Amino acid sequence: MPIIVNLDVMMARRKMSLNELSEKVGLTLSNLSILKTGKAKAIRFSTLEAICKALDCQPADILEYQEEE
């Protein structure tokens, strides 16, 4: 998939655990884990907004597009 999820990178930069982010965003650990590992097929804008707010970042800090070769 050409969309790369850099959630783990932003969490590391902010020194935030998955548990902490889960509490701040209001998502289950399993749903955040699916997103973090790049296995999610979609993300709601409201979820993206909550993650960006919690991590004090922009959507482009979390999602990246890379063309498939």
For residue 33, give the CATH number of its domain.
1.10.260.40
Q: How many structural domains are present in the chain?
A: 1
Residue 13 has pLDDT above 70, yes or no: yes
Q: Which residue's entry shows tokens 């790049």?
A: 38
Q: What integer pLDDT is reported at residue 48 of this predicted model?
A: 96
Whether the model pTM is above 0.95: no
Contact status, residue 21 vs residue 54, Cβ threshold 8 Å:
yes
Domain of 59, in residue numbers: 3-65
Cβ-contact 61, 6 below 8 angstroms? yes
d(CA 69, CA 17): 33
Two tokens, residue 13: 């930069």
Mean pLDDT confidence for 53-69: 93
Distance CA 47, CA 63 (A): 13
